[in-house]
A = this chain, B = another copy of it.
Amino acid sequence: MSNQTAFRALADPTRRDILTALSDGEMTVKQLTERFPMTRAAVKKHLVILEVGGLLTSRKQGRETLNKLNPEGLKPVTDWLAYFDQFWDTHLTNLQSVFDKKD
């Protein structure tokens, strides 16, 4: 999944909360809706965006749809962020950082 779809999926606080909720395990659309102050249709929209972003997978079981966290989908995000670790003072001293960049 592209960098952009994942970042976009994480931009909304409700969607981040959905991911946190799913860290407890698979949940149906109904179960998720009970945890959020909005309609099922709204939750469903968020789920689609999260799935497109590669952050969750879904499978049908009878009339229910189970949504499962896909932690690997966070990789494009953590990868992008990792580049900036070199500029982070708490990771490297200023001197070390300057040294790395000059070489």
Residues of A participating in the B interface, judged by any CB pair closer than 8 Å: 3-4, 7-8, 10-11, 13, 16, 19-20, 23, 69, 71-72, 74, 77-78, 80-81, 83-84, 87-90
Contact = CB atoms under 8 A, between A and B. Distances in A.
Interface of A is mostly: helix
Query: Assembly of this chain: how many copies?
Result: 2
Contact of A81 (B13, B81, B83): B81
Contacts of A83: 20, 23
Given A10-B10, A69-B84, A69-B87, 13 more contacts: A7-B11, A7-B16, A10-B11, A11-B11, A20-B83, A23-B87, A71-B84, A72-B88, A72-B89, A74-B84, A74-B88, A77-B81, A78-B81
Contacts of A7: 10-11, 13, 16
